[in-house]
Chain A
């Protein structure tokens, strides 16, 4: 590499911008449209980490990612107001996660309540629409339902446990390119 090339490379990193210590960033720089490369890089990296984790840890990968997600859910929801009503808690969580993990509480048309009791278990169906995990997996050609999805399950379970004080479990029912159906089992 010649000096000229290095200088040219360096030139791309020097600006006239003045940053003062009291400056608080009020806008997202660069504009979100310009972040596409960053987003794709992150998705690629996440996909590779998950693939490697599966190679090394096998089925144990799910336990690791689920645990990480659950911790994150507890951490984030610590600051929420405690709500005992599970439907209210889910609504609160859905508002907060909108955009990253946009989900709705869902029920088949023949059910009268969103809280469904079947074969001795009580559960609520959740339909996840926007989902950064699904986007990452599809970006990398990886199957849905694996360890990366487990982080999301853990996250929702952790947040619900933190908000309601009740134990919960999330099960995958179906995955699709546009939405995924999950069952939140209340224990």
Chain B
């Protein structure tokens, strides 16, 4: 589902194979972007997404993908820990 916001395009994808229909994203999203249809989450109002990504954090299946949002700065991630993890992975 694709929407236009301030001239930019926001795209929200739900991986149908991963989504287990728990409905957590539906309850969590303050902008009522999602709706459950036949036990699958469907982004019916992606134009209302403000990019908080709390739905990503709450989804147990990691089924969600947002394209076109502003990525906020994440200074809380320790660069050295990231480097170490990247080496291990």
Contact = CB atoms under 8 A, between A and B. Distances in A.
A135 B30 CA distance: 21
B79 to A, nearest CB: 6
Nearest to B74: A135
A130 B50 contact: no
Interface residues on chain B, size class: 20 to 34
A131 B48 contact: no
9 closest A-B pairs by CB:
A176-B52, A176-B54, A139-B76, A178-B53, A174-B30, A109-B47, A179-B52, A129-B72, A135-B76
Judged by DSSP, the binding face of B is: loop
B76 A106 contact: no
B87 interface: no
Interface of B: 3, 5, 30-31, 45, 47-48, 50-54, 56-57, 69-76, 78-79
Nearest to B80: A36
Interface residues of A, number: 28
Contacts of A129: 51, 70, 72
Contacts of A179: 50-53, 69-70, 72
Given A108-B31, A139-B76, A179-B69, 14 more contacts: A36-B79, A43-B75, A129-B51, A129-B70, A130-B73, A135-B74, A135-B75, A175-B52, A176-B57, A177-B54, A178-B52, A178-B53, A178-B72, A179-B52
Residue of A102, A129, A131, A178 ringed by the most chain B CB atoms within 10 A: A178
A50 to B, nearest CB: 15
Contacts of B54: 174-177
Contacts of B52: 127, 174-181
